[in-house]
Structure 1
Amino acid sequence: MSSDTLANIASTPTPPDPADVEAVPRIVPRPRVGQWTAAVAVLVLLALAATSVVRNEAFQWDVVADYFTTASVLRGLWLTLWLTALVMVLGFALGTLLAVARLSANPVLRSVGWGYVWFFRSMPILVQLLFWFNIGALYPELFGVKTVNLLGPVTIAVVGLTLHEAAYAAEVVRGGILSVDRGQVEAAQSLGLGRWRRLRRIVLPQAMRSIVPPAGNMLIGTLKGTSIVSVIAVQDLLYSVQLVYHRTYQVIPLLMVATLWYVVVTSVLSVGQYYVERHYAHGLERAR
């Protein structure tokens, strides 16, 4: 035989001896009795809860179906959606300015931004709404116009919720900006880009990866939080069903109508948040 043939024979792995294979102990996964027991118990409890809700006549599901798409409920739903969208847009616009002020080298802007966030995060939103609702006691007239005519319930709701939202949005945006690597900013400075252009073209697009998840949570929180404006007689979704059950005394089914609409809208927003997060996560390895 040639040397190449001998080398090939030597490099060919020999099959394992069957006796040795049988001697290797077989790995048997440990039974997860506790996990399966807990899973079965949870499924049983969920099934019992679902059965109780469906079969409980006190929920009056026929009444829920009758009022679910009535004109008054849909008008309240539309006002809730409109109010949520407007407050989020205005709140994040003001919050972005506050975040930039807090990150500014100017001590006055930095102090004003910090003071705004501190003040409006310290005051409960219900207190803010009641304060604005009674602003006429302090300023009967503004710019020659009576505050009763200038600040209606819907305007008060927009102002109060926006000021409250901006304080939290400022911290979300500030955290997102701080999450951007400092080297990105220094590279943009070396290219001669101005401060606002760096912020718009370099910092904010990257900061969105950190901003979108808490912003999505804020959006859902704002949607549900708008129900508090019912205390100042703004006819949102909750106030609309309250008007009905004050007349019909069918409290539980009407509250279920509002609850189901909140669940539907929140679910749609959660799906939208997922796709927005995935869009800004391009180029990142993320386990899902």
Structure 2
Amino acid sequence: MDHAIQVKLLGVRGTVPVHGPEFAQFGGATSCVLVHAGGETVILDAGTGLSGRAWQDFFPNRRFSVLITHAHVDHLMGFPIFPPLFDGGCQCDVYLKTREGCSGREQVEALMAPPLWPIRTNALKAETRFHDVKDAFSIGPVAVETMDSLHPGGSTIYKLSYGGTSVVYATDYEPESDAPEDFCSFAQGCSLLLLDAQYTAEEYSCTRGFGHSTIGRSVAIGAACGAQQTLLVHHDPKRTDEQLLELERSIQAQNPRIRFGRGGEEVFL
């Protein structure tokens, strides 16, 4: 059976990468999602999930696009060492919204410059083009819509649509209610919702304003926007597999269409 959109979660951890046997099932790599649709390869965020080898079997051509939500380092750490960027036969389009007077290239170069990094973006061998993020644009036949996220410094929420299916990627998002009207309208009826759910309600009493949602609130939003499937992502770095599984059992008892995303898993839409 052919699928309109194929999705692979390469990294679903938030804030900082983690490692160890207690994180093996859900993974310790930070935000990165591969999407293949309409012959296009689209990478959502460039966290440490981009630095492994898992992307290779899901990379059918040498032209790809990277859609970055924002330039916080957990969403950008994999970019400077992504092998295709050093292949002169590759073409890459990078989308990152201008923020605080800095273009996308300037934000990436804030990381890719001494003393933080030994090489700059001009060392990349691939034909690399940087684009500001518009409200709507297209990547080949894939339609892309965006909205601003509530997150310190700003962040972008992306919606990719192709062949009657859609993926909404909403990491680093701190909603103000269990059914925010603007977001629910944007994501209404999507095939797959990837939604930030870093904190428990108890943790949120100390992390309000950090730019992330709670598990309970994101479960309510997934239901309110009518997503066919919701995977909660941006797991707190201290959250172990055992803890996530316990929380997930409680979620699925309420709504079997909502669960936690796992690093390395594929979703076919």
Q: TM-score, normalised by structure 1?
A: 0.20
Higher relative contact order (CA 8 A, sep 6+): 1
Task: Please state which structure has a larger fraction of its residues in helix.
Answer: 1
Task: Please state which structure has a larger fraction of its residues in strand.
Answer: 2
Computing the radius of gyration over CA atoms, which structure comes out larger, 1 or 2? 1
Q: TM-score, normalised by structure 2?
A: 0.21
